[in-house]
């Protein structure tokens, strides 16, 4: 059976970009593959963060993942599997500094830190982040990695590192991981459709999957449809984004009817927004209800995920033992 691995940062809410771009795929792939899904708390330390919130955010995202359909036995918390960071160190030595400085996410996030103003502190962790991400993937010898389009460059780097490692140890040891995308791999911010939907850009730039109905309706109502930058004859990004959201929520008949109107030049943005909001409210309402049920017995879920992390760790330990052997390190436990 092929192996699937993916991860998400515990930086607060899960937004529609996370869900439609990646997590929905996580849920569907569980039937067909051996799946490992991580909440990467070490990654969340690479940007300025609140130490009092990280642990709560970690459990919150676990709850959210289970509420949308991820099985607890497939989940692990990165810091409970310390072999990821150990392999990360080893892989650092198979990755060039120049490659890391060329990562667009590093450039974007460094700029965000600078623009944040308060402290101009760009951590070495932020630069090194894609190597730890590579370790997350390679440690399970994952064949497939379901992610959004924004992770494409990081995935290419993972393949590069795996290839360099294999060449140096003279063996096709690591599998080269391939990304898996959904039909909507890039969801845009409704407030500024030039940008992708993301938590780090600020509150108005994402729609929380667990937001209440009124909030979702308000955010869709105020969505920017035409940012004025669109080329003549092509659909404005904001309009395209609303169509994508309807498609992602699987309201395909309504999607096609609205598209016919668009093509005939009779589409009213008010109608497009109404359908988008209805589709999202219907979908997320189910998740909100499930989360309430899970929250009624939080301890049970915590115990399950601590246990699954311990089980998954055994597989990571096996890989690390083999890697140490291959790179000439001692292997005494």
- Find the binder of ligand TYM among 4, 7, 81, 175 (CB under 6 A): 7
Rg (CA), the chain: 21
- Identity of the residue, 151 or 308, whose beta carbon is nearer to ligand TYM in the bound complex: 151
Q: Binding to ligand TYM (CB under 6 A): which residues in 193-252?
A: 196-198
- Identity of the residue, 102 or 292, whose beta carbon is nearer to ligand TYM in the bound complex: 102
In the numeric block, which tokens belong to residue 325?
Answer: 């052997």
**Nearest approach, Cβ of residue 152 and ligand TYM (Å):** 9
The verdict on whether 195 is a catalytic residue reads no
Residues 6 or more apart whose CB falls under 8 angstroms from that of 330 comprise: 324
CA angle 226, 253, 32 (to 5 degrees): 100
- Identity of the residue, 18 or 74, whose beta carbon is nearer to ligand TYM in the bound complex: 18
- Cβ–Cβ contacts within 10 Å for residue 294, how many? 16
Are the CB atoms for 126 and 49 separated by under 8 Å? no
**CA 309/CA 165 separation, integer angstroms:** 27
Are the CB atoms for 67 and 284 separated by under 8 Å? no
Spacing of C-alpha 177 from chain mean position: 16
- Contact between 91 and ligand TYM by CB under 6 A: the answer reads no
- Find the binder of ligand TYM among 40, 67, 207, 305 (CB under 6 A): 40
Tokens 């590579």 -> residue: 134
- Identity of the residue, 112 or 257, whose beta carbon is nearer to ligand TYM in the bound complex: 112
**Nearest approach, Cβ of residue 290 and ligand TYM (Å):** 20
Window 150-189: contact mask with ligand TYM (x via CB under 6 A)? xx---------------------------------xxx--
- Contact between 70 and ligand TYM by CB under 6 A: the answer reads no
The verdict on whether 196 is a catalytic residue reads yes
Active-site annotation holder among 53, 199, 302, 324: 199
Among 24, 61, 23, 25, CA closest to 41: 61
Instruction: Give catalytic residue positions.
Output: 109, 196, 199
């Amino acid at each position: 059976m092929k192996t699937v691995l993916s991860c998400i940062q515990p930086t607060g809410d899960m937004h529609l970009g996370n869900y439609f771009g990646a997590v929905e795929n996580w849920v569907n792939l569980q039937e067909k593959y051996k799946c490992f899904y991580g909440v990467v708390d070490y990654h969340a330390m690479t940007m300025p963060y609140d130490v009092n919130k990280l642990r709560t955010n970690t459990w919150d995202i676990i709850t959210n993942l289970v509420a949308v359909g991820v099985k607890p036995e497939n989940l692990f918390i990165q810091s409970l599997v310390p072999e990821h960071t150990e392999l990360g160190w080893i892989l650092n030595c198979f990755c060039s500094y120049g490659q890391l400085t060329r990562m667009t996410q590093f450039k974007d996030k460094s700029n965000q830190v600078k623009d944040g103003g308060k402290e101009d502190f760009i951590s070495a962790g932020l630069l090194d982040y894609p190597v730890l991400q590579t370790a997350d993937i390679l440690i399970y010898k994952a064949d497939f990695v379901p992610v959004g389009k924004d992770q494409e460059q990081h995935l290419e780097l993972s393949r590069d590192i795996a290839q360099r490692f294999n060449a140096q140890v003279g063996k096709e040891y690591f599998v080269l991981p391939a990304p898996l995308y959904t039909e909507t791999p890039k969801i845009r911010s409704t407030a500024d459709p030039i940008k992708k939907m993301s938590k780090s850009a600020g509150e108005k730039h994402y729609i929380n999957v667990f937001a209440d109905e009124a909030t979702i309706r308000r955010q869709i109502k105020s969505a920017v449809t035409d940012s004025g930058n669109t080329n003549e004859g092509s659909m404005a990004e904001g309009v395209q984004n609303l169509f994508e959201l309807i498609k992602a929520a699987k309201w395909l008949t309504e999607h096609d009817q609205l598209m016919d109107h668009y093509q005939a030049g009779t589409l009213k943005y008010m109608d497009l927004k109404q359908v988008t909001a209805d589709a999202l409210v219907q979908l997320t309402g189910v998740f909100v209800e499930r989360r309430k049920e899970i929250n009624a017995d939080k301890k049970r879920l915590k115990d399950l995920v601590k246990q699954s992390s311990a089980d998954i760790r055994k597989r990571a330990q096996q890989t690390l033992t083999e890697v140490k052997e291959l790179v000439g390190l001692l292997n005494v436990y």
